[in-house]
Amino acid sequence: MGRNLISEQEVSLLLNDVLERYGYDFTAYASASINRRVNHLYQTDRFSSFAEYRYRVITDPEYALRFVEAITVNVTEMFRDPSFYYTLRSQVLPILATYPFIRIWHAGCSTGEEVYSLAILLKEAKLLHKAIIYATDINASVLEKGRKGMFRLSQMQQYSRNYMEAGGREDFSSYYTANYEYAKFREDLGEKIIFSPHNLVTDGSFNEFQLIICRNVLIYFNKKLQERVLTLFSDSLEQLGFLGLGSKETLNFTSVTKKFRQLENKEKIWRKVQL
């Protein structure tokens, strides 16, 4: 077993390799979290040296995919931060209900728990039939999990509590069927979700939306990349559209702050103002 940690310079070298060889750009991610993740994989897979690790990433595309997955993995859960979903339900959806068709972009959707949470809200507001949710992530294997709509049964008790706190009034278990260790969510929810790869670092806008949700993704980016992504979201939103971020994220002190007004209850949801 070699050294325990690889240096920041070595991490930087590896990220440049991944960019040049495979086109994934992690060079503008916040260095503390990316260093931690790169080192975690290095230790988990027991490389004897940085040179061996680097060689494996460069020469083995399958291993490179493992590397990408290891450093983009996101923690997620259904109805995460229930007050956010309560605010969507009570303040945002009634406004979206006035539109003939509702386009939603859920960026950095990970394995899709929050996307299905949103589909449930739309269903209960009788809006799902006229909505489409584009769920995107850089990581292909998490999108595959999202497409299946299957989440661990052991989590359902917690998710049910979150759902109730988010203003849910139905029996949460009516939305899924137990399938061995997994809960399989209803087809009518999944039919309105399009899971597809999108890289916030390099890809552009692909539609005009009334609601964009991107939670707990920007915290992993440096300031410059945050600016790029927020500008992308601003450009992708219709006038008076809504933007929802994670609990530790903000539009304050960014270049787009003048284009948005935060909801009165200070939940992390902003509305694009008409300038």
> pLDDT by residue (tens digit) across 131-147?
999 999 998 889 999 99
Rounded-to-integer distance, Cα 34 and Cα 147, Å = 27
Half-sphere exposure of 94 (CA within 13 A, CB side): 5
The per-residue pLDDT for 3 is 55
Q: How far is CA 224 from the centre of its chain?
A: 19
Rounded-to-integer distance, Cα 131 and Cα 213, Å = 15
The per-residue pLDDT for 2 is 46
SS3 79: coil
Residue 259, pLDDT above cutoff 80? yes
In Å, how far are 28, 69, 228, 242 from 256, measured between CA atoms? Answer: 19, 30, 10, 13
pLDDT band for position 232 (50/70/90)? very high
**Phi-psi category of 23—alpha, beta or left, where left has phi over 0 and alpha has psi -120 to 50?**
left
Residue-wise pLDDT tens digits, 86-123: 999 999 999 999 999 999 999 999 999 999 999 999 99
Give the list of residues 6+ apart from residue 201 with CB closer than 8 angstroms, or none.
25, 26, 28, 138, 225, 228
On the 0-12 / 13-18 / 19+ scale of CB atoms within 10 A, 152 is exposed
Residue 85, pLDDT above cutoff 90? yes
The per-residue pLDDT for 42 is 95
Residue-wise pLDDT tens digits, 161-218: 999 999 999 999 999 999 899 999 999 999 999 999 999 988 999 999 999 999 999 9
pTM of the model: 0.88
**Cβ pair 183, 157 in contact under 8 A:** no
Mean pLDDT of 66-72: 87
Rounded-to-integer distance, Cα 134 and Cα 106, Å = 6
In Å, how far are 16, 34, 214, 268 from 135, measured between CA atoms? Answer: 28, 24, 10, 19
Residue 224, pLDDT above cutoff 60? yes
Reading the block at residue 176, the tokens are: 């899924």
Residue 52, pLDDT above cutoff 70? yes
- Of the listed ranges 20-34, 49-63, 158-172, the one predicted with least confidence: 20-34
pLDDT band for position 157 (50/70/90)? very high
On the 0-12 / 13-18 / 19+ scale of CB atoms within 10 A, 213 is buried
Rounded-to-integer distance, Cα 229 and Cα 66, Å = 25
Residue-wise pLDDT tens digits, 241-252: 999 999 989 999
